[in-house]
Amino acid sequence: MTENSFDLIILGGGPGGYVAAIRAAQLGMKTALVERDQLGGICLNWGCIPTKALLRSSEIYRLLHRLDEFGFSAKDIRFDAGKVVARSRAVAKQLSNGVGYLLRKNKVTVTHGHGRLAGKGRLAIERDGKAVSELTAEHIVLATGARARSLPGLEPDGERVWTYKEAMVPAAIPKSLLVVGSGAIGIEFASFYHDMGVEVTVVEMLDRVLPVEDEEISAFARKAFEKQGIKIHTGATVAALERNGANLTARIEGAGQGGEVEVERVILAVGIVGNVEDIGLENTAVKVEKMHVVVDEWLRTGEPGIYAVGDLVGPPWLAHKASHEGVICVEHIAGVNDVHPLDLHNIPACTYCRPQIASVGLTEKSAREAGYEVKTGHFPFIGNGKAIALGEPEGMVKTVFEGKTGELLGAHMIGAEVTELIQGYTIAKTLETTESELIRAIFPHPTLSETMHEAVLDAYGRAIHF
């Protein structure tokens, strides 16, 4: 047994934990990070990054089948599933190694093992069930992340019923697939597998796909997915799942829909729950609600000296939210003067399906429910020269403004590369920009970003190209 003393210990090396560790080190704190698996966490190793590598492969495969449209021809277009997966894993490994380098560069002490709170200011670490060390610090940040939620009767078996993890490393691409849940994770997998030639069915318990998005964007997305050939059931559930030889038979019920669908594989994508177990919370004043740790605006728990960030503390379950929470938490601990609590309305959300979806701020419905006098603007991608030139005319931008003050309340986009474009509106919201500044801003031509300008103009009856 060895004992080591630090200013700050962080439990978990995902986007919340490792970013918090680096920022703490920059602020002069002697920092330790404890990680039981791979640096970078689920996001980097089994989520955000490798899924984008897979989606890039499916995008290329789709484009290869559109060659004639662009004046090219090719024969015998095929893919190697093993190589597609291998590239995705290589991308994740490269970035995980990069996180390790950054932590070393900033002189963060990294310990691999399972950490557990062991009393005030103490964290005990085990490897293979054996105690290896105990770290002490005045401040401990919990960043243990979350895992996939399961449903009774639909428990993943790792072979035919998958979580996101198995879905990213298939030995072969199945011919048919059922995706349970139509949030970002479910829809991204539905999009990837469909573009790889799989017959895909999506079941969503709520009344629309991508239910956290603006209703108009959800409706647009559903039409686009169904046009592609994805079968969608909303207001429905999988009432039973039976093994039928090599296949699975799912009984779908609800909302006037129903029947059975036979598929080779099922992906369960019905949300996540925080990793609150076996980290020593039972002997503390840390409060847990709905499998997430309760924190205040500075990420403090109910136990003095214990903090929590990222997916562990609840939605939105986004890597960039976790990273910003990590920075806010350690800057507040360090006494930085200009640190501010996180404004959830300024956090962008992105879904990397086809077409892509991105948003920030309030939806039109939530803005009206909050009592705002609302002005909305719209602009279709079909009115944008760059979108047409790219062969990607399917899309729309929607803006939501406060009618009295011109405050930008929200922005919602669907179409090519909107996950890159949304940052323009995010900066505008962060700077508390009004319609006046956005109208006067000059957007380059020809670019997809011109759709953003036109959607602002349209909210005030000034759209030029629509």
Residues 106-116: tens digit of each pLDDT: 999 999 999 99
**Do the beta carbons of residue 268 and residue 151 sit within 8 Å?**
yes
> 355-459: same fold as 3-148+273-344?
no
> What is the pLDDT at residue 72?
97
Regarding beta strands 272-274 and 306-308, do their DSSP bridges make them parallel or antiparallel, or are they unpaired? unpaired
> What is the pLDDT at residue 158?
87
- Listed by start position, the domains of the chain span 3-148+273-344, 161-270, 355-459
User: Any idea what DSSP says for residue 337?
Assistant: T
Tell me, what amino acid is at 96? Answer: S
Cis peptide upstream of residue 152 (ω within 30 degrees of 0): no
> What is the pLDDT at residue 255?
66
**Do the beta carbons of residue 29 and residue 334 sit within 8 Å?**
yes
- What would the pLDDT profile of 51-110 be if each residue is shown by its tens digit? 999 999 999 999 999 999 999 999 999 999 999 999 999 999 999 999 999 999 999 999
- Which residues neighbour 129 within 8 Å (Cβ) at sequence distance 6 or greater? none
**Do the beta carbons of residue 262 and residue 176 sit within 8 Å?**
yes
> What is the pLDDT at residue 1?
43
Strand partners, 123: 117, 135
Helices (H) and strands (E) in the chain, counts: 13, 24
> What is the pLDDT at residue 43?
87
> What is the pLDDT at residue 244?
84
> What is the pLDDT at residue 254?
85
DSSP per residue, 289-327 = ETTEE---TT-B-SSTTEEE-GGGG-SS--HHHHHHHHH
Record: fold of 355-459: Enolase-like; domain 1 (3.30.390)
User: Any idea what DSSP says for residue 257?
Assistant: E
Ranges under pLDDT 50 in the chain:
1-2
Residue range 161-270, CATH number: 3.50.50.60
Q: Which CATH number fits domain 3-148+273-344: 3.40.50.300, 3.20.20.80, 3.40.50.1360, 3.50.50.60?
A: 3.50.50.60
- Which residues neighbour 422 within 8 Å (Cβ) at sequence distance 6 or greater? 348, 350, 358, 359, 360, 411, 413
- Which residues neighbour 309 within 8 Å (Cβ) at sequence distance 6 or greater? 16, 17, 20, 141, 142, 143, 295, 299, 322, 325, 326, 329
Q: What is the 3-state secondary structure (H, E, C) of 170-230?
A: CCCCCCEEEEECCCHHHHHHHHHHHHCCCEEEEEECCCCCCCCCCHHHHHHHHHHHHHHCC
**What residues are labeled active site?**
445
In 3D space, the residue among 61, 91, 355, 17 whose CA is nearest the CA of residue 217 turns out to be: 355
In 3D space, the residue among 332, 265, 271, 326 whose CA is nearest the CA of residue 149 turns out to be: 271
Give whole-number Cα distances, 9 to 111, 137, 166, 306, in Å.
10, 6, 32, 10
Burial class (CB in 10 A: 0-12, 13-18, 19+), 457: buried
